[in-house]
Chains A and B, each alone.
Chain A
Amino acid sequence: MSAIGFIAIAAGIAALACGLAAIGMGLATSRAAEAIARQPEAAGKINSSLMFGLIMMETTAIYALLVSILLIFVLGAAA
């Protein structure tokens, strides 16, 4: 297999983390929806803490995406 093929596989594996982050986001959002259904008056506080958690999860996903993009455009261009 050529170097470019290996780079493509590596980029795909790196982007897997985005899917994992999506699972985490889904879990957090479902729990937040349950919590709001149970205590609608606490919706504001639940929303803001959910937002913070989502940002943290999204950060890891974005890092993975960045790694994958750098693999493709920097390493791939060099290979």
Chain B
Amino acid sequence: MIDLEVSIYPEYVALFGLRLPESAVIATAVVLLLVLGLVALNLFYIRRRFTAKPKGLQNLLELMVESLYNFAKGHVGDCAEFAAPFALTFMCYVFFTTFIEIFGLPPATEDLNCTIALGLCSFIMVNFTALKFRGLRGRLKNLASPSAVVFPIKVLTDCIAPFSMGIRLFANVLVGGVIMQLVYAVLPILLPAAVSSYFNVLHVGIQTFVFGLLFLTYTGEAVE
């Protein structure tokens, strides 16, 4: 009989107490500094050396931005120029705040407050994009199509979407953490390294992609 000592961090168990855990705040601050550093590096080092024929880091940046713009164009059509930067911002935030788990810091996305806030931000952006490009009339018409009967249902669906986005991201990261702890409890050598390469690297990438995809899909639904 193995005596499992699995504990979700005590701060996070108080889900409905809405307490802001210190560790998540620290993690977010670290990530923000990191991202700001990368942006500064981009602005003052890489951008200065841009050439017509891309090489090195410029290649990577151009590939990232261009593929995201193409991806956004497929989902939101003419609003891609406006929506794609926001999608990339969300994706950067989700990726870095989750990825720092590999350095032993608690991921900020393992906190329900953080992910719900992310979901609400995306909700605001979706509606802002729709109002900017289609106007209030267009937005209401979109909600009332194909007939006025579905209006309340569509409004309800739109209002639940940010919470769904937040809770699914939170649950995914939490479950990854719980499984990692179980693995550590069962066999603390060798096996965690193998499992961690999925849960701390690949899984984070998938969640990041999913968050961006959901944001673009909801935007596409709002502006179609």
Residues of A within 8 A of B (CB): 48, 51-52, 55, 58-59, 62-63, 65-66, 69-70, 73-74
Given contacts A69-B175, A74-B13, 12 further A-B contacts (CB under 8 A): A48-B74, A52-B217, A62-B168, A62-B171, A62-B175, A65-B171, A65-B175, A66-B175, A69-B8, A70-B15, A73-B6, A73-B7
Chain A minimum-CB-distance residue to B169 = A62
Cβ of B25: which chain A residues have Cβ within 8 Å of it? none
Whole-angstrom distance from the CB of A28 to the nearest CB of chain B? 16
Can you name 22 A-B residue pairings with CB atoms under 8 Å? A48-B74, A51-B213, A52-B217, A55-B210, A55-B213, A55-B214, A58-B168, A59-B168, A62-B168, A62-B172, A62-B175, A63-B167, A63-B168, A65-B175, A66-B171, A66-B175, A69-B175, A73-B7, A73-B8, A73-B13, A73-B178, A74-B13
Task: Determine whether B164 belongs to the interface, using a CB cutoff of 8 Å to chain A.
Answer: yes
Residues of B within 8 A of A (CB): 6-8, 13, 15, 74, 164, 167-168, 171-172, 174-175, 178, 210, 213-214, 217
Determine the main DSSP class of B at the interface with A.
helix
Chain B minimum-CB-distance residue to A77 = B13
Chain A minimum-CB-distance residue to B210 = A55
Cβ-defined partner of A69 (8 Å) among B74, B168, B178? B178
Give the A-B contact count at a CB cut-off of 8 A: 34
7 nearest interchain CB pairs? Answer: A66-B171, A62-B171, A59-B168, A55-B210, A65-B175, A73-B8, A62-B168
Cβ of A51: which chain B residues have Cβ within 8 Å of it? 213
Complex-state Cα separation, A68 to B172, whole angstroms? 13
Complex-state Cα separation, A58 to B169, whole angstroms? 11
Q: Are A63 and B13 in contact (CB under 8 A)?
A: no
Complex-state Cα separation, A73 to B181, whole angstroms? 13
Cβ of A63: which chain B residues have Cβ within 8 Å of it? 167-168, 171
Cβ of B171: which chain A residues have Cβ within 8 Å of it? 62-63, 65-66
Cβ of B175: which chain A residues have Cβ within 8 Å of it? 62, 65-66, 69
Cβ of B167: which chain A residues have Cβ within 8 Å of it? 63, 66
Q: Are B13 and A69 in contact (CB under 8 A)?
A: no
Complex-state Cα separation, A66 to B15, whole angstroms? 12
